[in-house]
Structure formats: structure tokens, C-alpha cells
Structure 1
């Protein structure tokens, strides 16, 4: 074993060690097991260790021998570590022995500041991680050997040269220690992780920020250099390696965005910037960089894209609706205008001699177009009320669904005959409920109009059933039908099952139907297959939410 442990006597002057080339460090702790733990951690280094059990004992050792480094416990009975450090600086101001505090107390800023004010160069929390302790001790041992080399050189120089070198040495050491303190403080407060890796992307160093970033400690990353790549997808690893090669070849920094899986399996987005460090011969020595978590920003960006897509779709629907609405409104207006012109010409040419039947025909056609216009306007108004949450229902007791179906079907007889679709009605005399009669009539009208439009040339069936506390209406046609994709969006606003060029309409009828039915506590369903027609089923509770029913009321 390379490690040598010395428990010196203070009666015979300076300590004597087996090998003068070894650096000696002083470990001060009142707990023997803590001293043993430090000794075990440093057993791989070529060091001589002197152990002291109190601050007073440490001061006596420092009077007798020079040490490369002092590792001192903060909390000791009697003289604590802070007091011992102060006395060391007061009694030997020219002997700048590096001192690292060890403490089991919680790491607090005030304690750290006090430690640095006492002359410490660093502060480690117990239990001390062996890798971290060895790394820090190795730095100061290397500094000690450099100082020793400088001292040997100074002996060969004159007084002036020695003074210049001493001044430079002190400045260099102070600058180095100050840089290390600053770097340690900065890396500890960065909202991310500083890293260094080999050209094969195996991680050599990770700052303490990796714990909060990934759930893994710095020691785990240095112990398993390939751990970081295992958190990434293979595709991202390959992409980043290629991007880095190109960036470093062009003398640029590399910026990468990718996802990792934390220790708790939570996916997180990383933003990383790295630079290649090259040897004088141009060979890549290692890669240094910084990374941070940008998951929240990435989520906000995704949400923004989703909202923008929704906005674009809304604008598209608006533009499409305006185009369709202008066409639908223009059609009855044109027909109405032509009928008025024809009647005016006939009146001018045959004043008082126009047969009553011809005038009635013209007026009936004009009335039909006016009704169509009124229906379109009503649909637009209903849609506006639904969107703004102002759709109102006027519930009435004893509303007869069967009678409403027969009345609406009677109004469509002329249109049904014109398109060749006979209406077949299967309904009892009464199916009573607590409903809004006008809105219910609107539902039946929309469904029947839809069936005649897409089932033209074949029979349309209307069936009304009473099922205890529920009523059911089915409207079936044998027309073109639709696939599942169309069914999924059929009840949306401005949606149509087929092109408006062939069938027209604003795409609001089924939207309004569903909203009205659901407002009355019911549901509307569709079952269809391409070429096999469609069946729309409306199910309504016969009693309103307040418990009033229509079963015993007179027919409406």
C-alpha cells in the first residue's frame, strides 16, 4: 500500500518520514472512525497522513512540520475548526497551508462564508464522497509538489530572483485558489450542469447540478461514463455526434436540443452548448459544455403551436362558412327576385287579367324561398346562441312527440314526393314528455330534411317509441350513407358529410340538433355504412331534471 500513516511524537522536534518525496497532509477530527474513513478514501494516493484529534494538537503539529494540505473537522469539542484555522493564520501568516473544512452539518451559505473567511479554500459535507475528496486532495498535493520544485529552483538563484519568484508564486497560488473558489461557487449555483467528456462522449466530469437535472449524482456519472448516453435515445446520440463533428471542424460551438429520461422515468427536454478542446497538433482532446432543462419552455412552445393550429383551423372554417353561407343565401334571393320580376311583368302586360292560379303559384314559390331564407337565418342565430351559451329552452308538460313527428312529416310531403322518397311513419298516438315543443319540432325537421337530402329516391322511415321513462325517435334513409370518419365529425359546427357543391347547406343542422337534444338531457346517435343509408336515433328523458314529467298530461 502506498499510503503511509504517521502518528508523530512532539518531543523530538521535526517529524521524520520514510520517504522525503511524499507529500504529507494533516487530518484533524475528534472522531477516530472519521479519521479512519478519510484514510481509507485516500489510500490510493501516494501520501503521508498525520492524524490529530483536536485543534490544539493540530497547532502543535503545524509548528513542527510543513504539510501540503490540512483537512479539518469544523465541529470539535474545545477549539472548533474555525478557531483553529484563525490561529493558524495568525501565528504563521507566511505559511499558506491550504485548508479544507469537513462538516456533518447541513450546507448553509452562512457557514460556507464563515469557512472561507477563516482562510479555507473549500468546504466538504460529511459523509465525504471518496471520489470528490481524492480529486480535491490531488489538486493541492500537485500544488505542493510544484511549490517544492520552485523552492529547489530558488536555492540556485540569487536573493532578487528568489523574491521575484516568491511574489509570482504567491500571486499564482492566490489567483488559483480564488479561481477555484469562484468556479466552485458558480457551478454550484448554475441552473444546470457543467460537463466534460472524452472524444467518444464518455463523461469525465459533471458538476453537482446533474443531481437535480437527472436524478443521478456526479459520482454516479464519473463511475459510469456511458450513463449519460443511456438516458438519451440512440437516434439523438447519433444526431448530436454528427452535428458536433461538423461544428468542431468549422470552429463553431455546438448547440443541441434533445430529450432524456430522468432516473424517475420522467422525460425532460435538454438544451446543451459545447465546445471542442484541441491539442496543438489539432487533435480533439475533450469536449466541454453546459446543459440545462428547457422542458417548461418546450411545453409552452408546443402549446403555442397547438393554439396557432386551432386558430388557423378556425379561420379556415370561418372563410369556408362565409363562402357557403353567401352561396346558400344568394340562391333563394335570386329565385325570389326572379319570381317578383315575372309577376311584375305579367301585371304590367295583363293588368287585371292574370289568372288567380298563376299569381298563387308565383306567391307560393316566393313564400317557399322566404321560408328557406328564414330557416337559414334561424340556424345562424341558433348557432350564435349556442356558442355564447345563451340557448334557452321553454319546457312544457304533455308535449306529444308522436304528434310533432306526424305534423313535420305532413309539411314535408310535397318535397318528399318531388324527390321520390315516400315517408313511412311508425308511431303510437301519444308519446308524452316534458320538452320544448318548438325545439323538438326543429330537431325532427333537421333530421327529416337531412334524410330527404341524402336519401332522395328511396323511402324514409320515421319511428317513435316509448321506453318507460325515455322516448326514442329514429329517422332512417336508404341513401348514400357515410364511413366512420365522417360520422366522427358529423355533429361539428359547419361540418358536412359530402361536398356542398352537390348537396348544399350551412353544415349547422346536425350541430344544432345535438346541442338541443343534449340540452334536454338526451343524446343523438348515428349508425351508417357507405351506400347503406343512415339511421339517426334521438333518445330523450320524458321527465325534466327537476322531476316533473309529461306522462299524465294532455296532448300538446
Structure 2
């Protein structure tokens, strides 16, 4: 169709007789069609290439190319869009000619002279079909144009949104305390954020251009490990976390924390590594300083424990003969005749003996604490140790002290509660708990109870004294922990620590319940048969 003629409908008239062409043009005048006339088949083919036609009216008999030959050539030249063709013939109507006309691609066959109404009726059908088809084509073209415009608009909007997202992402990545990257398997970067400059001292372009590789800056001592861990992770399709040293352009070594993951081709081969890397040098420096301080602290604790152990042994050495000397002096006082001076001397000796015993107990506590810390606390288990007898013996030994403090002692115990225990260590546990109850019992009754249930022995020591709050209970069994001021109650804060360690070594546990002003209850539970596994740091001797 020629430019500017989109709305007209063209019909091609082909006849070698000018009179017949004029007749056709006259018959079709009411349709306001664009009529194109050709006087031969050759001219018809030429006209056919100039524009689109709704219909061809063609005479059969023409010099040169006849109508059938011309129809065949027209059909060959327009296989995708065949044009309806009506043959016109002045010959007598023959069936063979009609068949040949249809075989040539004709849609109808009319004899000359053509009856005008019949011609117009047939032409109207094909013209209306053509016009409807062209309208449909125009609608489809307009729809495609609209779709293309919408697509281009959407594409433009997407590109603008993508550009805005990229600007926002670049701004965010620029503010990150590190670098976001995408690198190839050969360690060259396809992309890196601006944090690269701060991390390495080199601009991003050095890495994205291939002039420099990230691996070339990794500390030589770390390269092999980093490469090995990366190969294992990416071969197994696993994310990778690395910590390594990087050589900064300024000459310093910096510690990097690197987290990345692989991006793979459909065949499973590694395409990219994407991730994030940040400088953790301040953290590593603080960690090293913390380790140094911890080392110094451990050494200080070791030296303290060593000093306490040596001091305890050295204190123990003069205490033994001093205790023996006081016992000898007490016997000498007792055999002498009674008198006021003798009575005064006896009281002095008793007071000195009490202080020596107290000092001995403190030294023993220090020795036990150092043994526990160094893993040298030993247990000597015996068969059929009677916990009830041990508690009665300890209570009897505290009766005089309890009487002086005005604190009644109440004991409830069966005849026997037997177990496979260390008798001396159990006596130490009961002594520590009863001593603690007398110290903080505020002169009120201290209750002791021994019982056995389902293979477990239970010792309960309850006082009605000052009690303690929750924060104190949380640290009560710690070494050198004290519930109150030493100025008022004294002690090293080791008794409950040693008690817990001995009880746990025997396979049991100890708990404390208390409220301020409502006293405290300590409960020890021990298995009557020895545990299968001994606790670490304690030697068991049978």
C-alpha cells in the first residue's frame, strides 16, 4: 500500500480491450474505489508490486501472458497474502475453462458482457472482506504499537528504578565499615565497593582492572590456609568464613574478617564469589591484650596459690608442737592442787588452745583450697561409713561452743545411715556447716536432721539467724566469698567452698535456701553407693 493511501481500497482491472476496461470502471463507480487499470498480464504484474489490492478483475484471453498464466505468477509472488481474483471471459461457458480458472487461484468466473448488478454484488463482498481485514490489521498494529509504548515506558521505569537502587546501594555500601565484593575464582574483582581503599590503601580500579589481585595482599603465612579453606568450601557449595592478615599499602598488617559464598554455573562450576570483608584489627589487638592480661592473671593466681600452699605448710609446722605443748601444760595444771592462781592459769591455757585450734582449722582450710585448685584433693573411701554417727560426734564436739553462744542444738537422726564415703571429709563437711550455722544463727536454735531415702543420704542444717539475699546465695559457694563483713564474723570464706567441692567429689550436691532475717537451710545429698565416674581434679583411694 502506498504512503498516504492507507484508507483507500484499490481494485486492479486487467483487460486488453479499452472498451471493456471503461465498462468495468463505469459499473464500479458507485463504490468510490481506487481503480487501477492494466492492459496486459505483464502490466498487471508490474502494477501488483506497487500497492495492495482488495480484488483483481482480469480477462482470460490477452496477448502475451493470458489470464491463467498471470494468475499463476501473481499467486507465486504473494503466497502469504493471496488476493481474490475473478476471471472475465467473452468465450462461451466451458466447464474445462472454469475448472482451469479455479485451479489458477480464481474465486469466481464471469462472462462478458458482465451484468452490472452481478458484478457489483460480487465485488462488494470481497471489498468488504478486504476492508474488514485491513481494519483488523490496523487495530492489531495500533495494539502492538500501544504494547510497545507501554513496554518501553515500563522498561524505562524499571531502568530508572534500577539506577536509583544502584545509587542507593552504592551509597549504603560506601557507608559500610568494610567492603562488599564480587570476585572471580582467580581472585580478580569484578566489583568492589569504595571501602576497598580504606582496607588496602589501593583504589577499587586497581582490582577491577586486573592490575592487582586480592590474594597478592594476603600475608604469605596465611595464603596457603586461605586457599585451602576456600577450595574446600566452594567445592562443597558451602559458605566460607575466613580470618587472615592483609598487607596494607602503608606497610601495616591488618586482620580481616571475610564472609563469602559461591555463585555457580548451571553445570556446577564456580562462576563468582560474592561476599563482605571488614577490618577487625582493633578486635584482634584487644583480644591479644585480653589474652595477655588473662595470662598474667592466671600466673598471679598460680603464684598466690603457691604462696598460700607454702605459707600453710610453714604455719602448720609450728602449730603442731605448740598444740602438743598446750596439751601438756593443761595436764600439768590439772594435776596440781586447786587454787585461784591455778584456775586462772587453766583458763589461759584453754583460751590459747582454742585459738591454736582455730588457727589450725584456718590453715587446714587454706591447704584444702590449694589442693582443690591444683587438683590434689584426695578421697579415701571406706565401706559402711555411718553418716549419723559422724553428725552425732561433730555435734558433741560443738556443744561447749554452742552453750557459750546460747545456741541450742537439736539433732534428729536414725541409728545408721551407711554409705561408701570418706569419713574424715564427711566430718569436715558437717563441721563447716554446723560452724557456719552457729556463727550466723544469732543465738537461736540450730536444727540438724539426717535421713535416708531411695539410696540417697540427706543431711539438713537449719539455723534461725540473719539469713541472706538472692545475690549472696548465687555466689555463696565461691572461693573466698563472704556473706557478711569479716570484721563482725571473721573467717576466710573457704568453708562452704571446700564443702561443695568435697560433696561433689563424693557424687552428691549441696544447696542453700534463705531469706534475709529468716535464717538459712543447707541440704547435702549423697549417694550411698559410689558414683561410676569420679570428678576431675580429685583422686579417689579405696
TM-score after normalising by structure 2: 0.43
TM-score after normalising by structure 1: 0.42
Larger Rg: 2
